Structure 1
C-alpha cells in the first residue's frame, strides 16, 4: 500500500563526494556550457545574428545511492496515461523509430574529461569537425558491422571555444565556424555517406541570448517574435537556468519549436538529444516542468516528415514516466556517467549507481522507448579509468537492461579488450532483443539479475559489487524453472555443460559473468502462499489492499514502523535451506526484515518493482523445517517496507 506521504524521494550528494568532484572538475567547470543546437544556415534563413555568450554551468552533480526518504512515495500514473504512453510507443516502433535500443557513439565523454590532450582549448573543446570525422570513420569501419550506427553530436557544436553561441536571425543556433567550418548539414551528409545516422543536441527552453530583448522574429511566423513565446517575467528553466521558459499557451510558442525542428530536419539529422529536461535534471517545481516542451517537440518533429529518434536527458523524474514514454523515445534515468576528472569515468562516481536505479524504470522499457543509462566507456583502457572487470560489468548491465549501447570512447584508440567487449555479438543480441532484466537477489554485494528470453531460454547475470572476491550463486527457482539446464558463457563463447538447480562463480571485485541458460526439466514445483490469505497474521497497521496485477488481485501493505505480515502454514517436505521468492510491489527503494519461525532474521533491500500494481520477485534463502513453518516480513525501520503480493516456496531444498 502506498505511503500517505506523496513527496518524491530526494537524493543528497555526500559532502565529501561533492568536495572531491569540485576539486577534480574545477577546471572544466570554468568553461562548460549549455549548447542549444547549431548548423549551416538553410537557404531560407538570413545571415546569422551577433554572437552572444551562453551561460556557463559546472559539471552535472552525481547523486548518491540510498534509500528513499522515510515515507516518500513515487506515484503511479493513471491507467489512461499508461495506456496513452504504450499506444504512442507502439506507434513509433511500428514506424521503425526506437523499435530496438539504438547503438552508436556520443561525443560528450571525450568533451567532459580532463584526460591529457583531449581538451587543449579549454573545457569541452574537443568537439570540432577535425576531431569528429575520424570518429565517424572509425565507427563505420570498426563498429558498424556489429550494429552501431548513430553518431551523436553533443553540447558545444554551436559555441566558440570560449562558449559564445551563434544564432541565425530567427533565434536558432547555428554552427560555430571555428568548430564546424562547413556547417552541420555537411557533417550530417558525411555521416550518411558512411551508412550511419546523425544525431544532434539541444537544451530545453529559449536560450537567453536568443531572446534579444524580445525582438527576434520567429521563422515562418510573420507576426511572432521571441517576446510572444515566453512568460513576461522571463522565468528560467532547464537544469542550468540558462533558458527562458516557453509559455505554450501562446500560439507563437509552437511556431518557434516547429522552426527549430525544421532546421535540423533540413540538415538531415536522425536523432535529437534534448537536455536539461525537468521534472528531473535535479530540478522540480512549475518552472522546471518541461512536459509541454517535450510534447511540443514531438509534434514539431512529426510535422517535418523526417523520422527522428528523440531522447530526453537527464535524471528524469520517474513520477512522469508515462509522459516521457508518450512524447519521446528514450529517457536518461540517471546523472552523467562521466566523472569530470582525469579519466572518462570512475566506478564509484556514477557507474555503479545504475545497479540501484534501473530496476524502478524497468517496466517502462520496450519498443518505441528505452531506459537510457548514458555512454558506454569500456573501450579505451587507461583513459576509461576503470579495471577490465569493471568494464565487463559495465557493459553487462547495459546489455541486460536493454539500454542503448553508445560508446563514449575515442574509437580511433580502442584497445583489444575494449574492442572485444563492444563487438561481442552474443552480448549485443541480449541487448537488442529488448527484454530488460531485473535483479532477483539485489541485497549486498552478491547480485543476480536475469530475464526470460523470447525463445524460452534465460539470460542470467552474476555481479560482485563488493571490494573483495566473492561467490555469487543463481538458483533456477528464482526464475521459475528447476532441475537441470545447459549453460553457455556469453562473454567467453563457451558451452559450460549441464547444471542442476543453480550455478555459482567466485568473482573478483566488481566482476561479472553472463550466461544463457536453457532449461531441460521445465518449471520448478512451487507452493504459493497469498499475502492476503485469511489464515495469515497482520500486525501494527498492516492491511489488505487491492492490486490489479497481483495474484488474487490483492496484496498486504502499510508495512511501516513495526507493521508486519506473518504467513502461516508454510509446509515443506524436509528440513533444509529453501530459496523463497517474495513477490512484492513498490515504486521506491524499500527494506524489510524477513525471518522463518522467528529465527535468523535478515534485512533485505527491495529495489523498486516499477509500480504499486507491478509485482517483482526477490529471492531469499530461508532455513525451514519439515512440516509447517511461519515466514514473517516485518518493517523494523522508519522507511516503509514494500507491499507483499505472495511468497513462493519450492518443494525441493537447495
Structure 2
C-alpha cells in the first residue's frame, strides 16, 4: 500500500452520532448527496457507515445481544438487505460504494475486530485455507460492550487468511476507509498487525482507523507504523467536560502526529444527533455544545490536526453549522500547518501554536474556564519579533498590535484563532 495515504487528517461523516447501530442506505446516500453539494470543495470526502450494518434487527443506538447477523458461507459479515437494499444478490456494499465514488467522494465502513461468534458456532471454513472458524477464534477474547465477536488468535494458522478474506471482500466493494473497533483499548497488537498486512495487500489504498480509545501512549511507535489514525479517548460526545479533557490528551499525543498517522480526538458531535435514541422518541436532539464551544472544538481539532468526522445528520444542518465546518481559513490550518504544539496550558487557559506553509504563524488562545477572562500572549515568547498583520480566522478581520502583545478578552469556553504575518 502506498505511503501517500492520509497525508493530511481525514475529513468526513460517520453515521454513529446520529443513527447509532441502525443507519439505513437511504440515510447514507442522503448524507453523501449533501457532502457532494456543500462540503466536498472544502476537503470533506469520507462517508462512513458505522457499526451493525450486518444486523437486520438494528433499530436504535442500542445493541441487540446475540442477535442473528447476516453472514456468508465463509463467516464474513455482509450488509443486511432490509436496511441496504442494493446489497441484494450478494452485491454487498459494491453499489453503495459506486454511488459514493461517482460523487467524487470516498466510502468507509466500521467493523469489530475478530470473527463472528455465530461463525464459530457453525465452524465455517476460512476462505483460501483448510482451516475453520474454531481453529482461529480466541473465545476468551471478547468485546466488553458488544456480543457479536470473538477475538482472533494472531498466532494461529488461518488467522491472517481470515482477515485477508474480509479485507479483500471489502476492497471489491470499493472501500477507502475502515474503522476497526475494540482494537485500541485494550491494545490488540496481534490483530492490528494482521489487519494492516491484509490492507497492505488488498490492492486499494484504505485508511486504517483504530477505535475506541484511549490508545496507550506507550504504543505510539507501533501505532505510527500500523495505523493512519487512532482514538486518544473513549467515545466523545457533546459535553464540555469531555472537551476540556481533550486539551490534555491532544497535548500528550502531539509529538506523535504527522503525515499518514494522526491521533484522533473523535467525532464532531454537531448538528442534529441521536436520532434513534429512545429517550428522544426517535426525533433526536440538537448538539448540547454552545456555539462558542463548537468554535473552541473546531479550533482545537484543527490546530492539533485531529481528523474531522462530522457526526450529525448533515441534511438537517442549519446555515450556522454549515459555515462552522466550511471556514476555509480554519480548515487550512488543519490541512497545511506544521510545527503544531501546545505552548501553554493550565486549568483556565490553553495556547496552541503552529507554522504555515508560507512562513506565517498561527496562534489559538482558549479560555477553558467557566468565567470570562483575559488571555494574554507576548508574541516574542513564541518567536515572533514583528507582527505586521494579525488575522482573526473566525471573524475574517485583520488588525494590528503595537506592543507585540496579544491582549484578549475571551468569554468562557471560547477560543480566538489568529494568523500572524
TM-score by length of 2: 0.89
Q: 1:218 to 1:434 in 2, by over 3 A?
A: farther
Q: Give the equivalent residue in structure 2 for 1:409.
A: 312
Would you say the 8 A contact 1:491–1:514 is kept in 2?
yes
Would you say the 8 A contact 1:239–1:277 is kept in 2?
no
Q: Give the equivalent residue in structure 2 for 1:146.
A: 42
**Are positions 1:226 and 2:226 aligned together?**
no
Would you say the 8 A contact 1:138–1:411 is kept in 2?
yes
Would you say the 8 A contact 1:362–1:436 is kept in 2?
no
Q: Give the equivalent residue in structure 2 for 1:297.
A: 195
Q: 1:101 to 1:499 in 2, by over 3 A?
A: farther
2: CA distance between counterparts of 1:477 and 1:377? 36
Q: Give the equivalent residue in structure 1 for 2:259.
A: 367
2:86 pairs, out of 162, 176, 182, with 182
Q: 1:196 to 1:483 in 2, by over 3 A?
A: closer
Q: Which piece of structure 1 moves more, 453-462 or 102-111?
A: 453-462
**Are positions 1:201 and 2:110 aligned together?**
yes
**Are positions 1:320 and 2:213 aligned together?**
no
Instruction: Report the Cα offset of residue 101 of structure 1.
Output: 0.9
1:105 pairs, out of 6, 9, 13, with 13
Aligned residue runs from structure 1 range 59-208, under 5 A: 92-93=2-3, 96-112=4-20, 124-125=21-22, 127-162=23-58, 163=64, 164=67, 165-183=69-87, 184-208=93-117
Which digits, 9 at most, give the CA deviation of each residue in 1:598-637, with x for residues without a partner? xxxxxxxxxxxxxxxxxxxxxxxxxxxxxxxxxxxxxxxx
Which digits, 9 at most, give the CA deviation of each residue in 1:126-153, with x for residues without a partner? x011222111100110111111010011
Aligned residue runs from structure 1 range 425-444, under 5 A: 425-435=328-338, 437-444=340-347
Residue aligned with 1:377, SS: coil
Q: 1:383 to 1:424 in 2, by over 3 A?
A: same
1: CA distance between counterparts of 2:116 and 2:377? 51
1: CA distance between counterparts of 2:409 and 2:202? 54
**Are positions 1:276 and 2:182 aligned together?**
yes
Q: Give the equivalent residue in structure 2 for 1:385.
A: 288
Aligned residue runs from structure 1 range 607-626, under 5 A: none
Q: Give the equivalent residue in structure 2 for 1:396.
A: 299
1: CA distance between counterparts of 2:248 and 2:300? 11
Instruction: Report the Cα offset of residue 167 of structure 1.
Output: 0.9
Q: Give the equivalent residue in structure 2 for 1:251.
A: 157
Q: Give the equivalent residue in structure 2 for 1:211.
A: 120
Would you say the 8 A contact 1:160–1:176 is kept in 2?
yes
Would you say the 8 A contact 2:270–2:286 is kept in 1?
no
**Are positions 1:267 and 2:173 aligned together?**
yes
2: CA distance between counterparts of 1:143 and 1:399? 16
Instruction: Report the Cα offset of residue 463 of structure 1.
Output: 0.7
Instruction: Report the Cα offset of residue 320 of structure 1.
Output: 0.8
Q: 1:363 to 1:459 in 2, by over 3 A?
A: same
TM-score by length of 1: 0.58
RMSD between superposed Cα atoms in Å: 1.8
2: CA distance between counterparts of 1:505 and 1:410? 35
Q: Which piece of structure 1 moves more, 413-422 or 451-460?
A: 451-460
Which digits, 9 at most, give the CA deviation of each residue in 1:151-193, with x for residues without a partner? 0111121112344321111111011122112122121111111
1: CA distance between counterparts of 2:417 and 2:114? 42
Residue aligned with 1:310, SS: strand
Gaps of 5+ in 1: 1-90, 113-123, 284-288, 339-344, 519-654
2: CA distance between counterparts of 1:474 and 1:506? 12
2: CA distance between counterparts of 1:230 and 1:156? 20
1:491 pairs, out of 394, 397, 401, with 394
2: CA distance between counterparts of 1:312 and 1:455? 33
Would you say the 8 A contact 2:387–2:400 is kept in 1?
no
Residue aligned with 2:75, SS: coil
2: CA distance between counterparts of 1:403 and 1:391? 15
Would you say the 8 A contact 2:339–2:355 is kept in 1?
no
Would you say the 8 A contact 2:220–2:256 is kept in 1?
yes
1: CA distance between counterparts of 2:345 and 2:43? 31
Kindly indicate which of the two structures has a greater share of residues assigned to helix: 2
Q: Give the equivalent residue in structure 1 for 2:281.
A: none
Q: Give the equivalent residue in structure 2 for 1:473.
A: 376
Quick check: which has more Rg, 1 or 2? Answer: 1
Residue aligned with 2:145, SS: coil
Gaps of 5+ in 2: 59-63, 88-92, 274-284
Instruction: Report the Cα offset of residue 332 of structure 1.
Output: 0.8
Q: Which piece of structure 1 moves more, 486-495 or 442-451?
A: 442-451
Q: 1:434 to 1:296 in 2, by over 3 A?
A: farther
**Are positions 1:453 and 2:356 aligned together?**
yes
